[in-house]
Amino acid sequence: MALLQISEPGLSTAPHQHRLAIGIDLGTTNSLVATVRNGISAVLNDSEGRALLPSVVRYHADGGVQVGDAAQSAQSEDPVNTIVSVKRFMGRGLKDVADVMSLPYRFVDEPGMLKLRTVAGVKSPVEISAEILKSLRERAEQALGGELVGAVITVPAYFDDAQRQATKDAARLAGLNVLRLLNEPTAAAIAYGLDNAAEGIYAVYDLGGGTFDISILRLSRGVFEVLAANGDSALGGDDFDHRIYCWLLEKNGLSALGAQDTRLLLTRARAAKEELTDRSETRIAAVLGSGEVIDTVLTRQDFQEMTQNLVARTIQPLRRALRDAGLTVDEVKGVVMVGGATRMPQVQRAVADFFKQTPLTNLDPDKVVALGAAIQANVLAGNRGGDEWLLLDVCPLSLGIETMGGLTEKIIPRNSTIPTARAQDFTTFKDGQTAMSIHVVQGERELVSDCRSLARFELRGIPPMVAGAARIRVTYQIDADGLLSVSAREQTSGVESHIVVKPSYGLSDAEITQMLQDSTQYARDDMLARALREQQVEAGQLLEAVQSALDQDGADLLGEDERARIATVMHRVREAMQGSDHQAIKKAVTQLNEATVQFAQARMDRNVARALTGHRIADLDR
Amino acid sequence: MQFDFQQNFFQMFGLPECFKLDGTVLEQNFLTLQSQVHPDKFAHLPESERRLSLQWATRVNEAYQTLRKPVDRARYLLKLRDVDTQEETNTAMPADFLMQQMEWREAIDEARHAGSLDDLDALEARVQHEAKALLQQLEASLDQAHDYPAAAGVVRKLRFFEKLSEEVASAYDELDH
Ligand SMILES: Nc1ncnc2c1ncn2[C@@H]1O[C@H](COP(=O)(O)OP(=O)(O)OP(=O)(O)O)[C@@H](O)[C@H]1O
Ligand SMILES: [Mg+2]
């Protein structure tokens, strides 16, 4: 594989030592954790041999928290405090949740993101998700017996910025170092592609419990390139359950059920749906709180009819994704099916009809995302598994800015390869105007009111000028996690006002630290011990990286003074590491980072130059 | 930004500064560069290196997207030659060109209202065909005649076609709803 032979970028991590990294599929219904051991990606089971952790969290009055199967079995008994499918609420306000009325929770409407009132207090979806992640982190730490370097967390490809930011915050709250947010279909494509040495255009159709994604990728040896992604982040198996639930209510003349009965029927509906995958009819039986007995037969045919338009809703995104990729159905070599809900025969049929081919179902649709995430985590952690590849992903939704008349001006179009940055110039419309308000939105629609509002901020301190004279450059940057940051700067006068916003629903570092401190699982001493350990690990890694860079390029790229200066700062880091003050280590680490900035730049420039000269016509097998 | 951005996009990919370009070489060199600078290669490294990688990878993507799309490539070439394409300011266009644009627009609107994907497909093909002829003119003025003002004029025309393509795309989006 020619691509793999190109000189190693960045700093190598010799001496070689396996760094523990995990991939987590944080699903609406089920979550999993996987890791690469001895070159093989494998899901880590719990102590009872179960791979899937139901994404269910139950809060108790005494502050105790249960996650997984134990919580799931309590869902009908204690529905208000037992949160299922919390992923649907990530980064969402109350008005975004379609079926609020039939959900057995006590919602608290808050700007940005809704919250849920439980016996243990008001919880945000971020905190609830963090409990799931914490449980998986503990599982992994026990299985692997060491400190984790970091984790790759998967998100639906069609998640917007708010949902991604919320996921990343949840991971940090769970004490995980997030190596990357990885799109679920992309993770699946990595696992599938590597396993099958697949080359050509592939579509990944991922219908899970709560989200739907379609990604079109070009796979070739050494490169995974996402060409387009589309989907619906509020469409999944849950909606099929909901249809059965509504049908049950109607058929039995029921209305306004209590929380317990609602959860009971939703659970029965899900079981019925799953049974209809293998059988042509199923019996749904339940005893309601009132003593009323429900006993109904649902046929596969009726089920398929009542869910026909849900299946149809997955077809439109397929068309769009193909069009955005500039491809036709005939060019798609294979369709990879991911997610438990793709087991439904009507879904498989619809996908086969659209793509004019039988979809590939020869992989475990529940596990493939976690397996791919683990493979990527292994690479990102700096473990070189012999194989290396380049992964190019895209942003699923356009990012824009509000202009006059409530219209959106697109700044970054959907399906741009990330990381990406785009700038646009704006001007003042009043004489002497000294401030400008900037409204950042995401979505495809023309009206701002139809798009998702991500952030609002003001650029102040513009020197007074006549209308139209100021030149304000607004820059949008999307990083490799698909997360946006925005900055604005007035250019003409030489006066710079610069502001970088994080979208408003995001938690600040201070808030996360506060939440960590509040959480009962982290007593203050634990916190300090953890912070110290983390700083020591980070300092150790940095020293190792700098040393290896010095060994490789120090003599060529640095003068003697420069080398001496870096050596002094390295010494300071080593000294700080002996002590138990994590702040002191952090300070020394920052100094070392600063002291090596120019060296790093020189190395980067040289690598880039070498890449195209030494290996100009590197045959990339494409 | 502090790092060396002196190289122009053509230099970055080791390509000659002209409009006609070998797409395969561009793509190969793009992948070679990204495999050096992409953030995935730096995830385990210190913050300063990660930031550098983000800047580089962003820049390489921008360069690739610019050179890959012919009209953007022409704009960029003209900018390197200090020629302003005047797309916002110079609105003088031949009357028959404008008439034809109006007709296209109406046709797109009709297809949109009729909800006809087939009509849109046909329109899109015709728009692309017309644009292709203009791209050939562009190549002649940029690479052979070196007549940059003429090239800027063609770019201004192509701007109209970009807008048409956007309208076709949004009509498709709408029909999918
Ligand atoms: N045999 C089956 N037939 C029909 N549906 C099934 C079957 N098995 C699982 N499902 C459904 O698949 C969904 C869960 O799938 P999966 O575990 O892939 O979702 P998830 O990863 O948790 O969710 P998401 O990816 O949307 O966040 C549930 O709605 C479940 O009822
Ligand atoms: Mg999933």
The label of the residue with tokens 């139209």 reads: A468
Q: Does B84 map to a domain?
A: no
CA–CA separation, B70 and B49 (whole Å): 33
Q: Which of A14-23, A116-125, A309-318, A407-416 has the lowest average pLDDT? A: A14-23
CA–CA separation, A361 and A575 (whole Å): 56
Task: Reply yes or no on whether the pLDDT at A539 is more than 50.
Answer: yes
Residues A50 and A69 sit within 8 Å (Cβ to Cβ): yes
Residues B109 and B39 in one domain: no
Residues B59 and B99 in one domain: no
| pLDDT recorded at residue B176 | 65
CATH topology of domain A20-197+360-388: Nucleotidyltransferase; domain 5 (3.30.420)
Average confidence (pLDDT) over A262-268: 94
CA–CA separation, A121 and A104 (whole Å): 16
Q: Does B41 map to a domain?
A: yes
Cis peptide before B94 (omega within 30 of 0): no
Average confidence (pLDDT) over A407-414: 93
Tell me which CATH code domain A524-612 carries: 1.20.1270.10
Q: How far is the CA of A174 from the centre of ligand 1 (A)?
A: 24
Burial class (CB in 10 A: 0-12, 13-18, 19+), A253: exposed
Structure token digits, residue B94: 């031949």
Q: CB of A541 within 8 Å of any CB in chain B? A: yes
Q: Does B82 map to a domain?
A: no
pLDDT band of A4, cuts 50, 70, 90: very low
Is the minimum distance from the CB of A125 to ligand 1 under 6 angstroms? Answer: no
Average confidence (pLDDT) over B59-64: 96
pLDDT in tens, B135-151: 999 999 999 999 999 99
Residues A129 and A26 sit within 8 Å (Cβ to Cβ): yes
H/E stretch holding A367 = none
Task: Reply yes or no on whether the pLDDT at B64 is more than 90.
Answer: yes
Atom of ligand 1 nearest to the CA of A52: 17
Task: Reply yes or no on whether the pLDDT at B3 is more than 50.
Answer: no
Average confidence (pLDDT) over B44-53: 88
Q: Can you give the residue range of the structural domain that contains B36?
A: 9-68
Q: CB of A17 within 8 Å of any CB in chain B? A: no
pLDDT band of A3, cuts 50, 70, 90: very low
Q: Which of A16-20, A62-66, B25-29, B44-48 has the lowest average pLDDT? A: A16-20
| pLDDT recorded at residue A610 | 76
| pLDDT recorded at residue A508 | 65
Is the minimum distance from the CB of A124 to ligand 1 under 6 angstroms? Answer: no
Task: Reply yes or no on whether the pLDDT at A622 is more than 60.
Answer: no
Q: CB of A412 within 8 Å of any CB in chain B? A: no
Atom 2 in ligand 1: residue holding the nearest Cα: A274
| pLDDT recorded at residue A266 | 94
pLDDT in tens, A32-58: 999 999 889 999 999 999 999 999 999
How many Cα atoms occupy the beta-carbon half-sphere of A359 within 13 Å? 25
| pLDDT recorded at residue A499 | 67
CA–CA separation, A400 and A415 (whole Å): 14
Residues A8 and A345 sit within 8 Å (Cβ to Cβ): no
Q: In this complex, do A149 and B46 lie within 8 Å of one another by their Cβ atoms?
A: no
pLDDT band of A619, cuts 50, 70, 90: very low
| pLDDT recorded at residue A503 | 59
Q: In this complex, do A419 and B41 lie within 8 Å of one another by their Cβ atoms?
A: no
What CA–CA distances, in Å, run from A269 to A157, A252, A298, A342, A581? Answer: 28, 14, 10, 17, 55
Q: In this complex, do B44 and A620 lie within 8 Å of one another by their Cβ atoms?
A: no
Residues B56 and B102 in one domain: no
CA–CA separation, A327 and A68 (whole Å): 42
User: What's the mean per-residue pLDDT of chain A?
Assistant: 88
Average confidence (pLDDT) over B18-41: 94
Atom 28 in ligand 1: residue holding the nearest Cα: A209
**Nearest CA-CA partner of A400 in A437, A435, A436, A443:** A443
Residues B107 and B159 in one domain: yes
Tell which CATH architecture fits domain A237-310: Alpha-Beta Complex (3.90)
Chain A residues in contact with B58 (beta carbon < 8 A): 419-421, 477
Name the phi and psi angles at A492, rounded to 5: -65, -40
> Going by DSSP bridges, is the β-strand pair A150-155/A178-183 parallel, antiparallel, or unpaired?
parallel
Residues B138 and B158 sit within 8 Å (Cβ to Cβ): yes
Burial class (CB in 10 A: 0-12, 13-18, 19+), A517: exposed
Q: In this complex, do B29 and A597 lie within 8 Å of one another by their Cβ atoms?
A: no
CA–CA separation, B47 and B44 (whole Å): 9
| pLDDT recorded at residue A518 | 62
Q: Does B2 map to a domain?
A: no
Is the minimum distance from the CB of A30 to ligand 1 under 6 angstroms? Answer: yes
CATH number of the domain where residue B117 is located:
1.20.1280.20
CB-nearest to A323 from B31, B65, B172 is: B172
| pLDDT recorded at residue A17 | 73
Name the phi and psi angles at A151, rounded to 5: -140, 145
> Going by DSSP bridges, is the β-strand pair A472-478/A484-490 parallel, antiparallel, or unpaired?
antiparallel
Residues B161 and B118 in one domain: yes
Q: In this complex, do B38 and A390 lie within 8 Å of one another by their Cβ atoms?
A: yes
| Ligand number with the minimum distance to the CA of A241 | 1
Task: Reply yes or no on whether the pLDDT at B1 is more than 60.
Answer: no
Q: CB of A618 within 8 Å of any CB in chain B? A: yes
| pLDDT recorded at residue A5 | 28
Chain A: nearest CA to B100, how far in angstroms? 26
| pLDDT recorded at residue A531 | 77
Residues B165 and B100 in one domain: yes
CA–CA separation, A485 and A235 (whole Å): 28
Q: In this complex, do B62 and A604 lie within 8 Å of one another by their Cβ atoms?
A: no
| pLDDT recorded at residue A9 | 40
Residues A401 and A411 sit within 8 Å (Cβ to Cβ): yes
Spatial CB neighbours of A538, under 8 Å, sequence gap ≥ 6: A585, A589
Chain A residues in contact with B40 (beta carbon < 8 A): 180, 376, 379-380, 390-391, 480
Chain A: nearest CA to B5, how far in angstroms? 10
Task: Reply yes or no on whether the pLDDT at A534 is more than 60.
Answer: yes
A291 conformational bin, left if phi > 0, alpha if psi -120 to 50, beta if neither: left
| pLDDT recorded at residue A544 | 85
**Between the CA atoms of B137, B143, B147 and B148, what dihedral angle is there, to the nearest 10 degrees?**
90
**Cβ-based contacts under 8 A for chains A and B:** 140
pLDDT in tens, A201-213: 999 999 999 999 9
CB-nearest to A597 from B28, B41, B48 is: B48
The label of the residue with tokens 């982290």 reads: A522
Q: Does B86 map to a domain?
A: no
> Hey, which residues does A220 pair with through a beta bridge?
A223
CATH number of the domain where residue B63 is located:
1.10.287.110
Residues A429 and A405 sit within 8 Å (Cβ to Cβ): no
Chain A: nearest CA to B66, how far in angstroms? 12
How many Cα atoms occupy the beta-carbon half-sphere of B142 within 13 Å? 29
Structure token digits, residue A292: 């009323």
Q: How far is the CA of A235 from the centre of ligand 2 (A)?
A: 12
Most A CBs within 10 Å, among B26, B37, B40, to test the A interface: B40
> Hey, which residues does A40 pair with through a beta bridge?
A37
Average confidence (pLDDT) over A602-608: 82
* CA A347 to centroid of chain Cα atoms: 25
Task: Reply yes or no on whether the pLDDT at A520 is more than 60.
Answer: no
| pLDDT recorded at residue A509 | 65
Q: pLDDT: is A294 or A531 the higher one?
A: A294
Task: Reply yes or no on whether the pLDDT at A397 is more than 90.
Answer: yes
Average confidence (pLDDT) over A78-101: 91
Q: In this complex, do A179 and B43 lie within 8 Å of one another by their Cβ atoms?
A: yes
Task: Reply yes or no on whether the pLDDT at A461 is more than 70.
Answer: yes
Chain A residues in contact with B46 (beta carbon < 8 A): 541-542, 545-546, 592-593, 596, 600
Q: Which of A13-17, A65-69, A517-521, B106-110 has the lowest average pLDDT? A: A13-17
pLDDT band of A524, cuts 50, 70, 90: low
Exposure string for B1-23, b = 16+ CB within 10 A, e = fewer = eebeeeeebbebbbeeeebebee
What is the domain partition of chain A in residue ranges? 20-197+360-388, 237-310, 395-521, 524-612
Is the minimum distance from the CB of A344 to ligand 1 under 6 angstroms? Answer: yes
Average confidence (pLDDT) over B55-59: 95
CA–CA separation, A184 and A26 (whole Å): 10
Catalytic machinery residues of A: 25, 87, 184, 206
Residues A27 and A212 sit within 8 Å (Cβ to Cβ): no
| pLDDT recorded at residue B93 | 85
**Nearest CA-CA partner of A99 in A304, A272, A300, A262:** A262
CA–CA separation, A12 and A548 (whole Å): 6
| pLDDT recorded at residue A493 | 77
Q: Which of B33, B51, B68 is the last residue of a domain?
A: B68
CATH topology of domain A395-521: Substrate Binding Domain Of DNAk; Chain A, domain 1 (2.60.34)
Chain B: nearest CA to A25, how far in angstroms? 19
The label of the residue with tokens 């122009």 reads: B8
pLDDT in tens, A206-241: 999 999 999 999 998 889 999 999 999 999 999 999
Residues B13 and B29 sit within 8 Å (Cβ to Cβ): yes
Average confidence (pLDDT) over A13-42: 87
What CA–CA distances, in Å, run from B54 to A151, A202, A391, A411, A460? Answer: 19, 28, 14, 19, 28
Residues A292 and A251 sit within 8 Å (Cβ to Cβ): no
Chain A: nearest CA to B63, how far in angstroms? 11
| pLDDT recorded at residue A545 | 85
pLDDT band of A6, cuts 50, 70, 90: very low
| pLDDT recorded at residue A8 | 38
Q: Does B135 map to a domain?
A: yes
CB-nearest to B43 from A380, A390, A416 is: A380
pLDDT in tens, A346-390: 999 999 999 999 999 888 989 999 999 999 999 999 886 545 789
Q: Does B51 map to a domain?
A: yes
Residues near ion ligand 2 (Cβ under 5 Å): A 27, 208
| pLDDT recorded at residue B48 | 83
Tally of structural domains, chain B = 2
Residues B172 and B99 in one domain: yes
Residues B51 and B109 in one domain: no
Q: How many CB atoms lie within 10 A of CB B61?
A: 22
How many Cα atoms occupy the beta-carbon half-sphere of A407 within 13 Å? 5
Residues B3 and A604 sit within 8 Å (Cβ to Cβ): yes
Q: Does B83 map to a domain?
A: no
**What number is the ipTM of this complex?**
0.91
